[in-house]
Chains A and B, each alone.
Chain A
Amino acid sequence: MSELLKNSIRFVLFILVQVFILFKMPPLHRFITPYLYYLFVLWLPFSLSRSSLTFISFVFGLSLDFFSKTPGLHAAACTLIAYVRPFIIGLLISQEGADKNYISPSMVSMGWAPYATYVLVLTLLHHIYLVFLEWMSFGSFIYFAGKVIASTAVSLLLVLLTELLFYRKQKFRTNTI
Chain B
Amino acid sequence: MRNVFLFIRRHTNFLFFLVLQIIALSILFRYNKFHEAIFMNASTEITGRINEKYNTIEYYFQLKKTNESLLKENQRLRQLLKENYEAPDSAKRLIMDTVKVDSARSIVKYRILEAKVVNSTTASQTNYLTIHRGTDEGVRPNMGVISPQGIVGTVINVSSNFATVMSLLHRQYKVVVKLKNGGERGTVEWDGLSPLFVTLKDIPKSAKVAKGDSIVTSQTSSKFPAGILVGTVYEIVEDNTSNFYVLKIRPATNFFNIEYVYVIDNQQYDEQKKLEDSTRKTIQ
Question: Least Cβ distance of B195 to chain A in Å?
Answer: 7
Q: Which of B17, B46, B126, B195 contacts A54 (CB 8 A)?
A: B17
CB neighbours (8 Å) of B17 from chain A are 54, 79, 83
| Contact A79:B46 (CB < 8 A) given known A68-B124, A69-B126 | no
A27:B47 contact, CB within 8 angstroms: no
Does A2 interact with chain B (Cβ within 8 Å)? no
| Contact A72:B28 (CB < 8 A) given known A50-B13, A79-B20 | yes
Does B201 interact with chain A (Cβ within 8 Å)? no
Bound together, the chains give a CA A34 to CA B181 distance in angstroms of: 42
CB neighbours (8 Å) of B24 from chain A are 58, 61-62, 72-73, 75-76, 79
A23:B28 contact, CB within 8 angstroms: no
Question: Least Cβ distance of B22 to chain A in Å?
Answer: 9
A27:B195 contact, CB within 8 angstroms: yes
Q: List A32-75 residues whose CB lies under 8 Å from chain B.
A: 33, 50-51, 54-55, 58, 61-62, 66-73, 75
Does B269 interact with chain A (Cβ within 8 Å)? no
Residue of A nearest to B157 (CB): A69
Bound together, the chains give a CA A83 to CA B12 distance in angstroms of: 12
Bound together, the chains give a CA A76 to CA B23 distance in angstroms of: 9
Residue of B nearest to A20 (CB): B54
CB neighbours (8 Å) of B157 from chain A are 69
Contact with B along A134-153 (1 / 0, CB 8 A): 10011100000000000000
Bound together, the chains give a CA A142 to CA B125 distance in angstroms of: 15
| Contact A66:B21 (CB < 8 A) given known A30-B194, A33-B123, A137-B171 | no
| Contact A138:B125 (CB < 8 A) given known A54-B13, A67-B47, A79-B21 | yes
Bound together, the chains give a CA A150 to CA B62 distance in angstroms of: 31
Q: How many residues of A contact B (CB 8 A)?
A: 33
Residue of B nearest to A75 (CB): B24
Does A90 interact with chain B (Cβ within 8 Å)? no
CB neighbours (8 Å) of B44 from chain A are 66
CB neighbours (8 Å) of A51 from chain B are 12-13, 16
Q: Which of A23, A27, A71 contacts B27 (CB 8 A)?
A: A71
Chain B binding site: helix, strand, loop or mixed by DSSP?
A: helix
Q: How many residues of B contact A (CB 8 A)?
A: 41
Does A80 interact with chain B (Cβ within 8 Å)? yes
Q: Which of B27, B121, B123, B256 contacts A72 (CB 8 A)?
A: B27
Question: Least Cβ distance of B46 to chain A in Å?
Answer: 7
Question: Least Cβ distance of A36 to chain B in Å?
Answer: 14
CB neighbours (8 Å) of B194 from chain A are 30
CB neighbours (8 Å) of A72 from chain B are 23-29, 31
A26:B256 contact, CB within 8 angstroms: yes
| Contact A24:B123 (CB < 8 A) given known A30-B193, A71-B37 | yes
CB neighbours (8 Å) of A73 from chain B are 24, 28
Does B128 interact with chain A (Cβ within 8 Å)? yes
Does B32 interact with chain A (Cβ within 8 Å)? yes
Q: In this complex, which of B14, B28, B50, B54 has the most chain A Cβ atoms within 10 angstroms of its Cβ?
A: B28
CB neighbours (8 Å) of A25 from chain B are 123
Contact with A along B117-142 (1 / 0, CB 8 A): 00001111110100000000000000
Does B43 interact with chain A (Cβ within 8 Å)? yes
Does A98 interact with chain B (Cβ within 8 Å)? no
Does A133 interact with chain B (Cβ within 8 Å)? yes
CB neighbours (8 Å) of A62 from chain B are 24
Q: List B21-79 residues whose CB lies under 8 Å from chain A.
A: 21, 23-29, 31-32, 37, 40, 43-44, 46-47, 50-51, 54
Bound together, the chains give a CA A30 to CA B122 distance in angstroms of: 11
Residue of A nearest to B46 (CB): A66
Query: Chain B: residues with CB nearer than 8 A to chain A?
Result: 12-14, 16-17, 20-21, 23-29, 31-32, 37, 40, 43-44, 46-47, 50-51, 54, 121-126, 128, 157, 164, 171-172, 192-195, 256
Contacts A/B (CB < 8 Å), 22 sampled? A23-B123, A24-B123, A27-B122, A30-B192, A30-B193, A33-B123, A54-B20, A61-B24, A62-B24, A66-B44, A66-B46, A67-B47, A68-B121, A72-B24, A72-B31, A76-B21, A79-B21, A80-B21, A83-B13, A133-B25, A137-B32, A138-B125
